[in-house]
Amino acid sequence: GVLRPQPLAGSGNEPCVRQCPDSTTVIQPPAVVVTFPGPILSSFPQDSVVGSAGAPVLAASGASHGYGG
C-alpha cells in the first residue's frame, strides 16, 4: 500500500507541476499535501513559502481553474 503512493506521487507530481504549475492546487487532499511539500520546494525553490503563504494563494487561484476547467 505504501509502495504504490510513492511512485505515483513522485512520478505523477513531477510532470504535472512542470506542465501546469497552477494544477498543483490538486493538493486539496491531505494525503497529497504531505507528498507535495517535498517536490514543490525542490521544483520551486523561490516559492519555498508555498507551505505558509503559497498554500492559500494557490488554493484560491486554482479554485477557479478547477471548477471552470
| Residue 29, domain extent | 5-68
Task: Note the Cα 22 to chain centre separation in Å.
Answer: 9
Task: Report the pLDDT averaged over residues 30-59.
Answer: 48
Is residue 10 within 8 A of residue 39, CB to CB? The reply is yes
Q: Quote the pLDDT of residue 14.
A: 53
pLDDT in tens, 7-44: 544 444 454 445 554 544 555 544 444 444 545 544 44
pLDDT at 26: 52
pLDDT surpassing 50 at residue 52: no
Count structural domains, the chain.
1
Query: How far lies 65's CA from each of 4, 21, 31, in Å?
Result: 28, 12, 21
Query: Which pLDDT score is estimated for 57?
Result: 47
Find, among 12, 65, 58, 54, the residue nearest to 35 by Cα: 12
Cell of 47: 516559492
pLDDT at position 55 over 50: no
